[in-house]
Amino acid sequence: MSELRRRRGRPPQDEAGKRREAILDAAIAEFGDKGYDAATIRAIAERADVDPALIHHYFDSKADLFADAVRFPLRPQAAIDAILEGDMDQLGERAVRYVLTLWENPEFQRRAVPLMRAAMGSKFTTPIVMQFLNRELAAKVAARIAAERQTSESDAQYRTALILSQMYGMLAGRYVMGIPGLADAPMDDLVAAVGATIQRYIDTP
């Protein structure tokens, strides 16, 4: 009995933090498959071939583990500014191409999927994701639109929201839900089609 137990006397510390990495990797996969609530620490431990208690040794709580698991994708920060700086006429296509290229990176995708799920998960998780999204992205886009197009602040916010809604729908459909026709579409097709939409949300009065 007790055969679900981890094998005992594990070589203490294979290499520095190797098991910790395995835990994070398993957590990303579990949160990505099941969403935050349905994912369990025990299932993550089993997936990482690790004792559940070890997870609590490395991470204080389930919420902390989730935060660490999705930390990576927040990186692109710098590139966003560069994209917004270019000429306004091709901003739509440029933005879509950048976002899609980012998502084609499997490492990014794996960490971003749990965040996309959390954004729609509950009325409690939504504001957490939205706060980050607004601070890192939406505010900058709205400011750029307001400055260039010289519209009111609320109009810029409205245009930004339209852009976000199409971006979210595209990414959710392609990478999370796997909608047929969208998940397997060539990137260039999407850049042209959705890029034109974004551009129109920027331009049209």
Partner DNA sequence: GTCTATATTCCGATAGAC
Partner DNA sequence: GTCTATCGGAATATAGAC
d(CA 139, CA 145): 10
- Judged by CB under 8 A, the number of residues near a second copy is 48
Residues 119-158 that bind a second copy (CB under 8 A): 119-124, 126, 130, 154, 157-158
d(CA 43, CA 52): 8
Instruction: Give Cβ neighbours of residue 49 (< 8 Å, ≥ 6 apart).
Output: 6, 22
Q: Which is nearer to DNA, 62 or 97 (CB)?
A: 62
Could you tell me which of 49, 44, 92, 89 has the C-alpha nearest to residue 68? 44
Q: Which does 201 bind (CB under 5 to 8 A by kind): DNA, a second copy, none?
A: a second copy
Q: Rounded to the nearest whole angstrom, what is the least distance from the CB of residue 18 to a second copy in the complex?
A: 28
- Judged by CB under 7 A, the number of residues near DNA is 31
Q: Does 123 bind DNA (CB under 7 A)?
A: no
Q: Which is nearer to DNA, 58 or 98 (CB)?
A: 58
Query: Which stretch of DSSP H or E encloses residue 112?
Result: helix 106-121
Exposed e or buried b for every residue in 32-60, given b needs 16+ CB within 10 A?
A: beebbeebebebbbbbbebbeebbeeebe
Q: Rounded to the nearest whole angstrom, what is the least distance from the CB of residue 75 to a second copy in the complex?
A: 23
Per-position DSSP letters for 179-196, written without gaps between them: -TTTTTS-HHHHHHHHHH
Could you tell me which of 175, 192, 195 has the C-alpha nearest to residue 95? 195
Residues 8-67 that bind DNA (CB under 7 A): 8-10, 12-14, 16-17, 19-20, 39-43, 50-54, 56-58, 60-63
Binding site for a second copy (CB under 8 A): 33-35, 37-38, 116-117, 119-124, 126, 130, 154, 157-162, 164-170, 172-174, 176-182, 185, 189, 193-194, 196-197, 200-201, 204
Binding site for DNA (CB under 7 A): 2, 5-10, 12-14, 16-17, 19-20, 39-43, 50-54, 56-58, 60-63
